[in-house]
Amino acid sequence: MTAEAQPWSVRAIEAGSRWMISRRRKLSGIGLGIVAVFLLSQSIYTVENGSSAALLRLGRVIDSAVPPGLHFHLPLGIDTVAARRTDEVVRLEILGDTAPSLVLLTGDENLIDAQLVVQYRILDLGRFLFGVEEPEEQIRNVVRTAFQHQISVSSVEDVLTSAKARLQVESRQNAQRRLDDLGVGVVLVSVNLSAVAPPAEAASAFRQVSDARAEAAEIVNRARAASEQSLRLARGSADQDRQQASAAASARRSEADGAARRFEQLLARRIVAPQQTRDTLKFDTFEKILSRAEVVLVPPGQARHIEINLLSRDGSEVPFEKPLGSSRGPERP
């Protein structure tokens, strides 16, 4: 080869290679060292706290539950790692086909709109990653199935009001059973009915029912209150009656006692002075009555019949004939 002017790049490469060849031993040592360090760096991997990982060697799973921390694996793509946050609870919404809400048919052929939210956690990472295609879609389908089954045997009243909690719990249990049978490797933390309502077009009709129920309760309460009041008054009146009777009875007894005492006093006087007492009493009485009444004296020997016009209390005349000397009339004391 003639000593032509070669480009500087070629000369540099030639010089570099001559230098490298002359120091090949040392360089190979250093090179090996660099390669070793490089390989080591590719062999280390960390699994974060709250996660776990699956380790695959040439495609085959050799460990499906690598715990958090620092680990080694074979470099150069021989080993691959797939990690997931297995402590984390993942939230999935289950939406309807054409609208955000699921449209479901209840046991009594009523329509309802519902929105479901399910929360799950990965239990078996190996099955979750490699055993089942689309585990989240599986979960959605299974939960929807379980919920539909529950709705199919419930009345719309129950679904909208009292059975909501029960539906959630039973859906979760049912869905968990199905997922376990399929081997999806997750545990369902909760199934929530985030919204459930009758269809918009029927909403006012449903409101009317709850209004009517409230009204009915109100009517019954008012009736109860009124009846309690009426009974209170009746009891009060009854007590009053009893007390009045009791008082009247007492008064009567006192009256009797008084009259008895008076009689006994008079009797005592009569015993002492019989005739005098009788006369006194007689004349006392006659004084009183004769000063009040009208007295007509009929001389003896007069006609044996006299006409007396008695005026009855209303002013009409009542003819009365009294034969004198008859036994009728005031008794001669």
Partner 1 sequence: MNRRLRIVLLVAGLGAGIILPTSVFSIHQTETGIVTRFGRPLAGVLGPGLHVKAPWPIDRVIRVDARLLLFDNEPTEMLTLDRKNVVIDCFLCWRVEDPLRFTQTVGTRSQAEARLLDLASAALGAAVGSEPMESFINLDPSAVRLDEISRIAGTEVNKVASGSFGIRVESLTINGFNLPPQNRASVIERMRAERARIATAYRSEGEEEAMKIEAAADAQRERILAQAMAEAEATRGEGEAEALAVFARAYGKDPEFYRFLRTLESYERTIDQDTTIVLEADAQLSEALRDR
Interaction pattern, residues 276-295, with partner 1; x per rule: CB under 8 A: --x--xx--xx-xxx-xxxx
173 touches partner 1 by CB under 8 A = no
CA-CA distance, 107 to 170, in Å (whole number)? 16
Q: Closest CB to partner 1 among 19 and 283? A: 283
CA-CA distance, 205 to 332, in Å (whole number)? 96
123 touches partner 1 by CB under 8 A = no
CA-CA distance, 130 to 92, in Å (whole number)? 20
Stretch of 12-20, 29-37, 66-74, 219-227 contacting partner 1, by CB under 8 A: 219-227
Q: Closest CB to partner 1 among 39 and 219? A: 219
CA-CA distance, 151 to 112, in Å (whole number)? 10
- Whether the Cβ atoms of residue 160 and residue 112 lie closer than 8 Å to each other: yes
Q: Closest CB to partner 1 among 12 and 226? A: 226
180 touches partner 1 by CB under 8 A = no
Stretch of 6-14, 29-37, 188-196, 225-233 contacting partner 1, by CB under 8 A: 225-233
Among 20, 37, 219, 273, binds partner 1 (CB under 8 A): 219
Stretch of 14-22, 36-44, 55-63, 188-196 contacting partner 1, by CB under 8 A: 55-63
Q: How far is the CB of 9 from partner 1 (least distance, A)?
A: 26
Question: In the structure encoding, which two tokens stand for residue 233, read together?
Answer: 């008054």
Q: Closest CB to partner 1 among 47 and 132? A: 132
DSSP H or E run through 63: strand 60-66
DSSP H or E run through 149: helix 135-152
Among 42, 43, 119, 138, binds partner 1 (CB under 8 A): 138
Stretch of 5-13, 59-67, 84-92, 117-125 contacting partner 1, by CB under 8 A: 59-67
Among 4, 181, 317, 321, binds partner 1 (CB under 8 A): 181
Neighbours of 81 (CB within 10 A): 15
Q: How far is the CB of 311 from partner 1 (least distance, A)?
A: 8
Among 20, 44, 273, 306, binds partner 1 (CB under 8 A): 306
Q: How far is the CB of 247 from partner 1 (least distance, A)?
A: 9
DSSP conformation letters of 68-118: SEEEE--TTTTEEEEEE-TTSPEEEEE--SSSSSEEEE-TTS-EEEEEEEE
Which residues have C-beta within 8 Å of that of residue 135, sequence separation ≥ 6?
128, 184, 185, 186
Among 3, 18, 69, 133, binds partner 1 (CB under 8 A): 133
CA-CA distance, 186 to 122, in Å (whole number)? 5
- Whether the Cβ atoms of residue 65 and residue 86 lie closer than 8 Å to each other: no
CA-CA distance, 147 to 96, in Å (whole number)? 13
Among 44, 255, 273, 305, binds partner 1 (CB under 8 A): 255
Stretch of 14-22, 28-36, 189-197, 250-258 contacting partner 1, by CB under 8 A: 250-258
132 touches partner 1 by CB under 8 A = yes
Which residues have C-beta within 8 Å of that of residue 75, sequence separation ≥ 6?
39, 40, 42, 43
Among 25, 26, 328, 332, binds partner 1 (CB under 8 A): 332
Helical packing angle, 135-152 and 164-182, nearest 10°: 130
Q: Which of residues 89-118 bind partner 1 (CB under 8 A)?
A: 97, 103-111
Which residues have C-beta within 8 Å of that of residue 20, sequence separation ≥ 6?
27
- 172, with CB counted inside 10 A (0-12, 13-18, 19+), is buried
226 touches partner 1 by CB under 8 A = yes
Size of residue set near partner 1 by CB under 8 A = 120
Among 234, 273, 276, 279, binds partner 1 (CB under 8 A): 234
